[in-house]
Every structure is written in C-alpha cells, then in structure tokens.
Amino acid sequence: MNIGELAKTFDRDGYVVVEDFFASELMDRIDGVIRGYYGDSPDFWHNDEFLEKSYTEVVPWFPQREGNRDFDVIEQDERFQALSEAILGEGWTAQYCMVMFSKQGTSGQAWHQDCPPEDPARHNLNRLVYTSDIVDEIGGQTVVVPGSHKQGELPAGDPVGEFEDQVVLRPKKGTLVILHGHTWHRVLPITGPYRFSTNFRAAPAGTPDDVTDVCVYRNMRYRFSDSSVIEEREPR
C-alpha cells in the first residue's frame, strides 16, 4: 500500500478505494456483530418528512457510543490511522463510528453532500468499511462523481437522477472506501435482503463536532439536530 499515492488520488478525485484492506476473518466477525444487533427488520430512525424528501432510508447505529468495543480494532489499525493522517493532516480527529443498515426494497440514499461546501476546509471524512460484498443482486452500490468535492454545491434537481460522469462502486468484503464529505455521492436502491456498511467518520484539525449537522440534498438542506428542512431547493 502506497499511502502517498492513495492520498494524491483522494485529493484529485474526492474518494479512494482500497481493496482487501481488512482481513476476511475480522470482517466476518464484525459482520456477525452487526447482524446480531439489527435483526431482520429494524425500525427507521428518522421522521417521515425526512424519509419522504431525502430518499434516504437508512437505519443508523452508533456502537461505540453504546459502549460496544468490537469496532475498536478497526479504528486502531495502524495502517488505517496512517492513511487517515496522510489525507487529513496532523491533528486530525476521529468523530464517531456509524453503522448504516438498509432494508430490502428501500431507496438507499439520494445524492447528497455530508456538510455544506461553502468553506472547502470545513468538512468531514467518511471512512467506509465493508464487511460483506456489495453486488448487483443485492443493490446498494455507492455512486460518486469524481472531483466533485472541488465543484461547490451539489446542483439542485432530481434527488436520484444520474450524472454523466458518475462512477458506480461495488466494494467487496474487506474494502476500505475513503470519501470526502463534499463529494457528491449516493447509494442505489436495495434489491437483496439487506445492505450495510460502517462509517468511521473523521475530520481535519479544528473542525467543529457538528460539521455534519446540515446535509445538502438536491432538493433541500436538512438539519439533523432539530429534524428540520432549512432550505427548499429548486433547479435554477
């Protein structure tokens, strides 16, 4: 693994994919923990307005906040730490671990930016770990627009429409995907039994803890802290 080259790719594209980053045995163990927590059909966490407008039907879990230490081995991996520092710089901070579960028949996630892009230096970093394969038979592929982390605000429009230069990612078990919070990205609908990934969010030094409180969608800006739509967006 050439950390310097991976950091350059990330800076250019706003994301980087590293296959076989984590051992299969570790992924199987964490996968079992996740399955055990969620069961077959967990309840949605967000309110109906958010689910209807955001096209984002995801059930989050924050295991470390609940005292679960199973995910610490990933967080503390030396290579994981080194690559994070190469991308974020000295003094970067880990924010939290969030597992994202999607049920069969749900819409995945609409196009969004995790935080407003007006200040290029103010952003989060998604460090996505996949404990099982994302394949076309299941759905839930991650879609990104390369270089969009440097293109400003996600254009208003169809929340799930396609971009000409989008790239579809199909991570395998053990893959690490690192994604800039300003990169335009979405998750395709879930056709198989379920889909999940685990996001170890981080941020550059000096970034406020609430950097991801406001999320930018193609049809709105949404604030999670008070579950409110703070801006309706229409194509110009």
Q: Report, in this order, helix, strand and coil percent for the chain, each rounded to 5.
A: 25, 30, 50
Top pLDDT among 48 and 59 is at 59
Mean pLDDT of 3-21: 97
CA distance 12 to 183: 11
What CATH number is attached to the domain comprising 214?
A: 2.60.120.620
Residue 59 pLDDT > 90: no
Residue 132 pLDDT > 80: yes
Residue 54 pLDDT > 80: no
State the residue range of the domain holding 133: 3-232
45 — pLDDT class (breaks 50, 70, 90): very low
* pLDDT averaged over every residue in the chain: 90
pTM: 0.91
The domain tally of the chain equals: 1
CB-count burial class (<10 Å; 0-12, 13-18, 19+) for 165: exposed
Percentage of residues in the chain having pLDDT higher than 70: 92
Residue 40's pLDDT is 60
Residue 72 pLDDT > 50: yes
192: number of Cβ within 10 Å: 15
And the tokens for 221?
Answer: 């800006």
Residue 47's pLDDT is 47
Lowest mean pLDDT among 4-18, 70-84, 186-200: 186-200
Residue 41's pLDDT is 57
101 — pLDDT class (breaks 50, 70, 90): confident
SS3 125: strand
Residue 187's pLDDT is 93
The phi, psi pair for 50, rounded to 5°, reads: -65, -45
Q: What is the pLDDT of residues 141-191, one digit of tens each?
A: 999 999 999 999 999 999 999 999 999 999 999 999 999 999 999 999 998
Mean pLDDT of 54-76: 85
Q: Which residues of 51-61 are buried (b: 16+ CB within 10 A; e: fewer)?
A: bebbbbbbbeb
